[in-house]
Structure 1
Amino acid sequence: MCTCKSDVYDVVGIGFGPSNLSLAIALGEHQGNRAGHPVKAAFFERQQSFGWHRNMLLPETTMQISFMKDLVTFRNPRSRFSFVNYLHESGRLTQFCNNQDFFPTRQEFHRYLEWVGSSFDDQVSYDSEVLGVTLAPEPCECAQRYLKLEISNGAIGATEIVNARNISISTGLVPKVPDNVATGDRIWHSSQFLEKLRDVDPADLRNVAVVGGGQSAAEIARYLHATLPEAQIYAIVPSYGYSVADDTPFANQVFDPEAVDDYYFGSDETRDAFWRYHRNTNYSVVDDDIIRDLHRASYAEQVTGERRLHFLNLTRVRAVTRNGATNRVSLHSLIDRETRELDIDALVLATGYTEMTPTGLIGDVDHFCHRDPEGRYRIERDYRLMTDPEFPCGIYLQGGTEHTHGLTSSLLSNVAVRGGEIADSVITRTRADAPTMQRSTRRIEQAWERAG
């Protein structure tokens, strides 16, 4: 019997946010596990504890998806890890029902995620960052090749090597900052918001600006206006006011699990139509209730003449420089083509995120991965990177697949089904590929030689 079975994981998850948490559940609930074939899995998370957009857990902000789009329900409504079961075990099921609301607060949903995550403490290592992924230079005793992950463990201040036949990369979105602006003292990306705000004396914040036209920008502007009653709040909006998110029933079908197939197997014209007609379901848009709250607040100030909330529409940030104890923001208006300067005590950049890319993480393994004419990764329907036939391992992406799988690539809307599809793929491919591993050994050595 091959001794490597005790040393090689079937799948290692890089990152332990909602996506890989959902995968962990799906692996545990897979039909094959009950037949005596458990999947050996481990997850590594660089945060010191479970956390999901902690710095945007603003009071009373709600989820933009139904509570039924939790980690499991669309895949397995009977799962014990459903949001409904969380409410039941927390003693709040009746009270939540009495709210007559499909959308829990973001804080409560975060508590739900923590509750689920606590059941997988034996599989996840926190304060552990995966530094790189390489292919093992030699096969194990049964001629199987595997991936080697170098992991930095902050708790012990050392690195370790973990072996895996498959990896699931879910490192999250990457904060996007304008090229002409650098974060620093009193200049924060929205992903840092609450943490940075707590470190500042509110009395020192007399003028605060928020850049952006999406949900986070509007939420932060509303929050600052409510919590800093003596401050002037400037909303620097790239469009002519906030645009409302389309959450009507037919438009929301773009987030259905079936829509992934329509996008993936559709023509270029099909995929273009998805983005052209339905981008306003998620990108650079704001929920109707927040828009109305901000407009009411602004109008009330117009009535009293005591203005604190200012909207600078069709305005771009040209530069930010330090001006004594404040930051001087150079603004360009597309309305009158004028440039003005604004001295502010804090600047919040709610300027969005870019997709994650695994290129730096997988290193030389990238040589085995296929790309399309535009240089993007080719990805199979089961979220596995397309690789050379001789490459023996699976690299799954939970994010960075918008060009192949559509709008739900990194969203919670499809997290339960996506996790289940990856779990099915890992288990099915592992069993199907086992007899062919030995035949692949020489071919993969040849591929390494071609890669240099």
Structure 2
Amino acid sequence: MSPHIDTENGVNGHEPVPELVPAVPGPVSTPSVAPEPTARQFPKSTYLKPAPEDAVLDLLGVGFGPACISIACALHDTLEKGKLPAQPNVLFLEKQSEFNWHAGMLLPGTKMQISFIKDLASLRDPRSNFTFLNYLHKNDRLLDFINLNTFTPARAEYEDYLRWCARHFDDVVHYQTEVVSITPVEADRPAKTFEVTARDLRTGAVKTYRAKNVVVALGGQGYLPEVFPRNHPRIIHSSQFAYTVPKLLADRNAPYRIAVVGGGQSAAEIFMNLQNTYPNCKTYMVVRADFLRPSDDSPFINGIFNPEFIETFYPQSSASRARLLADAKATNYSVVRLELIEALFEVMYHQKRTLGSDERVWPHRILSGRHILSVEDSPNGGVHLKLEGGAGNDGPVEEIEVDMVVCATGYERKAHLELLKGVYNLLPEVDGSKLSEAERKDRWVVETGKGSTTTSRVMQVGRDYAVRFAEQAVAPGSGVWLQGCNEATHG
């Protein structure tokens, strides 16, 4: 449950809470997207320099989000202190055209929910140049930030800080470059190097890199429940919200009808943002649970996010880890910050006060305890949702028609499996039938071969986040490392 991982409802990590202004029909208060970044004063690292074109890289990072930026910062600091004998050959490949961090959910007024001290460097080395405080100092805002009297900066400012850190390493990052495969060099046994094949998204050109170590840090991919059609122009995931909604719903004063699906922080933020941005809209928040639940960020349970907690968590059995994660679910999943719950309740209260008890006439409704039976196109170009209520999903059926559906339904973290198909033959064999249900959730069983020659293999990560290959399949000093998809084993 890493605190920098974005989830459907992550609230105890780097997750925002909007300005707590009750949203009732009235003037438009704020724009739907955050201001442009303002980071400056980012001299490029003098320690991480481009490697020769034909060099075998010591480290290649797939993705350049917070995980790999942290690695780059740590390498810079280590070299600066003279703790490495030589400069490593390092390269990061990033699919995006430039750095951005959850820009699709960068809503106005949102704030961080963890202390700025949990930045990319402070807990590792408070004297690092890559701390949030140094970012403020370099951008001439340190005293002003102190006068804010807060440990939780605006989310837009924190994204700007991450961008500021990233810009230090422009010389060793190739943007608009999509990695398509990772395979061992065939001549190597045990494998000493890996071939990483990538496509330049601007030109379509394909290039192959060689690296001893590969870090795969792809982030999460928006999850849509099976009931929703894929690639529908009016059904989007919350990660696309700030990009897509202003284009599709261009008239701020139009009486749009919008459904938000989900019961966590992201859903609640979007539900509130729509009411503030479109004063004449009609919104529905469709929630599977019977109630919106507050997040638990109390000091003792927050210890699950401490780095040293991994030493307690990782050695436990799969079943024990699963139980512990279930106990800590309220820190990060299907929960909403209490302040936002109270703001939403106030909206509901004033609708009841002014419009009466019949919720069907309210412009903004929270439809809790609902199961989505079907999703279909409506004749006028909208989306028709059929909902079923009741504790056992056997209650009355309600049908609503909307112009757009926003699914704040969480993220999947399995894109690495497709990327790493080329290394499957290096993994140890396993009898999948002997794995318990809990064991199947903290590792990935994959198949190699075809037909009668199919072999089951298992992909697991060690305490150090390295993929555990079969004995003598990979040489010491080489490997593949996974970031951002290890909650079941590392918390």
What are the Cα deviations for residues 136-177 of structure 1, in whole angstroms up to 9, with x where unaligned? 12259xx97310011101233301110000000011112110
Q: Name 1:424's counterpart in structure 2.
A: none
Q: Name 1:383's counterpart in structure 2.
A: 465
Q: Name 1:351's counterpart in structure 2.
A: 409
What are the Cα deviations for residues 411-432 of structure 1, in whole angstroms up to 9, with x where unaligned? xxxxxxxxxxxxxxxxxxxxxx
Deviation at 1:267, TM superposition (A): 3.6
State how far apart, in whole Å, the 2-side matches of 1:181 and 1:269 are: 32
Could you tell me which of 10, 13, 28 is aligned with 2:61?
13
State how far apart, in whole Å, the 2-side matches of 1:86 and 1:236 are: 40
Are 1:327 and 2:383 an aligned pair?
A: yes
Structure 2 CA distance for partners of 1:317 and 1:34, relative to 1, 3 Å: same
Output the aligned Cα RMSD.
Answer: 2.2
Partner of 2:96: helix, strand, or coil? coil
Q: Name 1:402's counterpart in structure 2.
A: 487
State how far apart, in whole Å, the 2-side matches of 1:264 and 1:186 are: 42
Q: Which runs of 4+ in 1 moved over 4 A?
A: 31-35
Are 1:286 and 2:336 an aligned pair?
A: yes
Q: Name 1:28's counterpart in structure 2.
A: 76
What are the Cα deviations for residues 283-336 of structure 1, in whole angstroms up to 9, with x where unaligned? 111111111111112212222218321010111222211112211111111256
Cα contact 2:97–2:176 (8 A) shared by 1: yes
Q: Name 1:92's counterpart in structure 2.
A: 141
Are 1:340 and 2:398 an aligned pair?
A: yes
What is the 5 A alignment of 1:87-166? 87-139=136-188, 145-166=192-213
What is the 5 A alignment of 1:144-293? 145-182=192-229, 183-200=231-248, 201-202=250-251, 203-204=253-254, 206-268=256-318, 270-293=320-343
State how far apart, in whole Å, the 1-side matches of 2:461 and 2:107 are: 36
TM-score of the superposed pair, with normalisation by structure 2 = 0.78
Cα contact 2:370–2:389 (8 A) shared by 1: yes
State how far apart, in whole Å, the 1-side matches of 2:325 and 2:83 are: 41
Are 1:317 and 2:372 an aligned pair?
A: yes
State how far apart, in whole Å, the 2-side matches of 1:63 and 1:262 are: 27
Tell me the amino acid that sits aligned with residue 389 of structure 1.
E
Structure 2 CA distance for partners of 1:173 and 1:190, relative to 1, 3 Å: same
Whichever structure has more helix as a proportion of its residues is 1
Cα contact 2:78–2:84 (8 A) shared by 1: no
Q: Which stretch shows the higher mean deviation, 191-200 or 31-40?
A: 31-40
Structure 2 CA distance for partners of 1:269 and 1:171, relative to 1, 3 Å: closer
TM-score of the superposed pair, with normalisation by structure 1 = 0.85
State how far apart, in whole Å, the 2-side matches of 1:47 and 1:253 are: 34
Deviation at 1:224, TM superposition (A): 0.5
Q: Alignment length, in residue pairs?
A: 402
Tell me the amino acid that sits aligned with residue 165 of structure 1.
K
Deviation at 1:250, TM superposition (A): 0.7
Tell me the amino acid that sits aligned with residue 338 of structure 2.
D
Tell me the amino acid that sits aligned with residue 59 of structure 1.
P
Structure 1 segments unaligned to the other structure (5+ residues)? 407-452
State how far apart, in whole Å, the 1-side matches of 2:397 and 2:254 are: 26
Tell me the amino acid that sits aligned with residue 125 of structure 2.
N
What is the aligned-residue identity percentage? Answer: 33
Deviation at 1:75, TM superposition (A): 0.9
Are 1:362 and 2:420 an aligned pair?
A: yes
